[in-house]
Structures are given as C-alpha cells and as structure tokens.
C-alpha cells in the first residue's frame, strides 16, 4: 500500500513545494518512491499555476535538490486523496481543519515541525518577504522534518 503525503503552506510556492521535493529526494535516495508519494498545495489561491519561488529553488539547488511543480489550492477533496496532510504553520493547520468542520479527517492533519529531530521550531517560517538566509533556513528545517517523518513512516 502506498502512503500519500500532502504538504501544505499558504501559497504553495515556497515551503510546501520544498517539503514535497525534499521528501521525494529522500525517497529516491532510499528507493522508496513506490511506497510513498508526495504532493503539495496552498491554503490560498494567490499563486495557482506558478512554479516554486526562484529564491527557494536556489536554496534547494545548493543542496542538490531540484524544486519542481506548480502551485494549486488545497480543497476538501484532498482529505480523501491523502493519508497525511502536513501543515507548515499553525495558521495553515487551522485553515486546513476549517475545511473539515465535522472533524472527520482531523487525525490526518499534522504539523510539519512535529517531525523535527534537531530543530526546536514549532512552525516552518514563511521566507517569502525575507532575505536569502530565510530560504536556506527553511530548506535545512524541512530536511530535518522530512527525515524525521520518513523515519516514522518506515517503522
């Protein structure tokens, strides 16, 4: 059985596509692509159809990771399509749960930083309005969280 992961941030051009592509990179290294599939989405419609942010792509490229994909908006239908929905911050978490007023899918929604092993962060910060350091930090943070998540899924 394939485990289906959906990474969610606000606009789906920085954090969530980075998490998706980092996880795919880790899956490829471990030859687990047939067991776990990844996608990403945003809670807003700001950037639908856009590729990952160029600054984010540059930060990922420094680590040998290529960011691909195009932004889409999270919908209630995603609850049925995915086994785990991973929110980048508390605002995303609340916005996702708001689309499930009955709480039927709440068990599938988790915070990305819950899987961090080294970083103490509780949220993945949005680097969009900051400098290059913020994008580098988010890549490092997501590498940590994705590694932790993968470790938990492999058990």
**Which residue's structure tokens are 């998706």?**
20
Catalytic residues: 9, 15, 126
> Between the CA atoms of 51, 56, 58 and 60, what dihedral angle is there, to the nearest 10 degrees?
-100
Q: How many residues does the chain have?
A: 155
Least Cα distance to 62 among 148, 150, 152, 140 occurs for 140
Residue 140: CA atoms inside 13 Å, Cβ hemisphere, count? Answer: 10
């Amino acid at each position: 059985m394939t485990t289906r992961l959906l990474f969610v941030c606000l606009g789906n051009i920085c954090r969530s596509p980075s998490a998706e592509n980092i996880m795919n990179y880790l899956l490829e290294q471990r030859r687990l692509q047939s067991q776990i599939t990844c996608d990403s989405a945003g809670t807003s419609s700001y950037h639908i159809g856009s590729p990952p942010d160029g600054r984010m792509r540059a930060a990922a490229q420094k680590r040998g990771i290529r960011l691909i994909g195009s932004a889409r908006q999270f919908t209630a239908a995603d609850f049925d399509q995915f086994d785990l929905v991973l929110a980048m911050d508390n605002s995303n978490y609340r916005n996702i749960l708001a689309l499930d007023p009955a709480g039927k899918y709440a068990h599938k929604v988790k915070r990305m930083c819950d899987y961090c092993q080294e970083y103490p962060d509780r949220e993945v910060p949005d680097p969009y309005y900051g400098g290059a350091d913020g994008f580098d930090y988010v890549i490092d943070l997501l590498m940590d969280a994705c590694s932790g998540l993968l470790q938990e899924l492999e058990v």
